[in-house]
Amino acid sequence: MLNGLTKYLESDKEKQALIDDLINPKVVFYEKALKSEMRYSEASYDLREMDTPARLLSLTKFCPKCQRRYPEEENACYDCLVTLKHVSDKVPVHDIESRPTFEFDGKTIYDDFQGILTEENITKINDFDFKSADFKHIINNLKRTSLENLDEVIEKNYVDMDELTTLESVLLFAKTFVNVDYKSYGQELGYFEFGTITIDDRQSDSFQITTLIHELAHFLLKEILVGVLCDLLDCKSSSLVDVIVTYILSYSNFTRLIDEYSAHCCEGRFTVYGYQDYSSFLQIIAQMDGEMSKEEIEITKSIGNTFANSIKDILEIFIDHELLRQIKREFLMYHHEKPNYEMLKLENCEKLTEEGFLKAIWLVVSDGFIVASENMDKLEEYLKEVKQ
């Protein structure tokens, strides 16, 4: 089945161009120039701080609309005609609590797994009445909802985007998609599980940034497949559908590889090439013990790369060219070791055509849905964890 997808492969020219640039010797000069520019920027920043009048420290109020700062004795912004807020009302991005939701509408609301995992619904999924326009609608829905969530978080917590550090900007964007929690033990840099990204905030800002992007990709792949399932079954999104998709992405090495490789591709797009850690992807392959051929693994990577292109399209709404430059500067500030371009050998520079991608989605969802219907006890365990 997997090998049948090879006829739908095409070159991912954008990704290939990025890699070609990186293995070209001129990249060394680029990194030196970037580090030099970073040091210059830091020096300029220090001078600005030295020249800042002490009176600015007494500007303890701000306008919640234009963010202009005011002294304590002022009570209103007469440009915006709103009452001033105190600086202490602003919530640090680290402490902002958000429970963003993404909804997919449909006629049916399911109350239990038995109602979803029926022979009738298995037939609907196998028939796969799903087109490229339906997939684009799901992506656009995720974009629109995330922008609405961002507006709400900014307004509720009086966030001034110009005051944020690079990490705070990425963290704020992450919180428009998913809940973010923090851990202070264990060796994992972070993980995504049941609606929450958990990261270790003891690590450097640069590693927190790459971890957030990687785990966001896991969340978005899951959410895309929730949209696919809701479309096929004409149902509303719910914790039940969410659990089924979570199971589909974790029950086999095939889907785990897609999920992990897609996340690595997204991480690579927004960080500095040469410093990636593919250990989680390689661990899955090591555990398979010949379960998949090299050709099947490459096709699986192509599926993950194709999903990653859609996920990157969503993230690029928030991580624009300027923030991307800031992320690279942040990374080079903390990591002075020589980049390891050997990891680029793991990159796959092929993606599926629209027709091939739809066939791949059908394969993932149809096989996974059948297996899920045979393991309802496991689904019930997942559901309990979600509700905790």
pLDDT in tens, 225-280: 999 999 999 999 999 999 999 999 999 999 999 999 999 989 888 877 777 777 78
Classify residue 117: in a domain, yes or no.
yes
Classify residue 29: in a domain, yes or no.
no
Q: Are residues 240 and 274 in the same domain?
A: yes
Q: State what percent of residues in the chain have pLDDT above 70.
A: 87
The dihedral sign for the CA sequence 217, 315, 364, 292: negative
Say which DSSP state 344 is in: G
* Final residue belonging to a domain, choices 72, 89, 106: 89
Q: Are residues 78 and 122 in the same domain?
A: no
Classify residue 32: in a domain, yes or no.
no
Average pLDDT on 378-387 reads 86
pLDDT of residue 50: 39
Confidence of residue 20 (pLDDT cuts 50, 70, 90): low
pLDDT of residue 207: 85
What SS3 state is found at 140? helix
Classify residue 34: in a domain, yes or no.
no
Q: Are residues 324 and 242 in the same domain?
A: yes
* Final residue belonging to a domain, choices 89, 110, 145: 89
Domain count, the chain: 2
Q: Is residue 364 a contact partner of residue 225, using CB atoms and an 8 Å limit?
A: yes
Q: Are residues 63 and 153 in the same domain?
A: no
Q: Are residues 217 and 344 in the same domain?
A: yes
Residues paired with 98 in a beta bridge: none
* Final residue belonging to a domain, choices 33, 64, 89: 89
Q: Is residue 232 a contact partner of residue 125, using CB atoms and an 8 Å limit?
A: yes
pLDDT of residue 33: 39
Q: State what percent of residues in the chain have pLDDT above 90.
A: 41
Classify residue 38: in a domain, yes or no.
no
Classify residue 317: in a domain, yes or no.
yes
Distance CA 271, CA 266 (A): 9
Q: Are residues 316 and 348 in the same domain?
A: yes
Classify residue 305: in a domain, yes or no.
yes
Average pLDDT on 154-160 reads 85
Q: Are residues 15 and 65 in the same domain?
A: no
Q: Are residues 83 and 206 in the same domain?
A: no
Domain with 244, as residue range(s), is 3-24+91-387
Q: Are residues 289 and 342 in the same domain?
A: yes
CA 361 to chain centre: 19
Classify residue 35: in a domain, yes or no.
no
Tokens of 356: 């091939």
pLDDT of residue 347: 75
Confidence of residue 148 (pLDDT cuts 50, 70, 90): very high
- Is pLDDT above 80 for 325? yes
Q: Find the angle CA(50)-CA(53)-CA(55) to the nearest 5 degrees.
A: 140
Confidence of residue 47 (pLDDT cuts 50, 70, 90): very low
Average pLDDT on 167-187 reads 85
Q: Are residues 202 and 69 in the same domain?
A: no
- Is pLDDT above 50 for 40? no
pLDDT of residue 41: 38
Average pLDDT on 217-223 reads 96
Q: Are residues 73 and 148 in the same domain?
A: no
Distances in whole angstroms, Cα of residue 86 to Cα of each of 1, 58, 75, 250? 62, 12, 10, 47
Q: Are residues 101 and 220 in the same domain?
A: yes
pLDDT of residue 232: 96
Average pLDDT on 366-378 reads 94
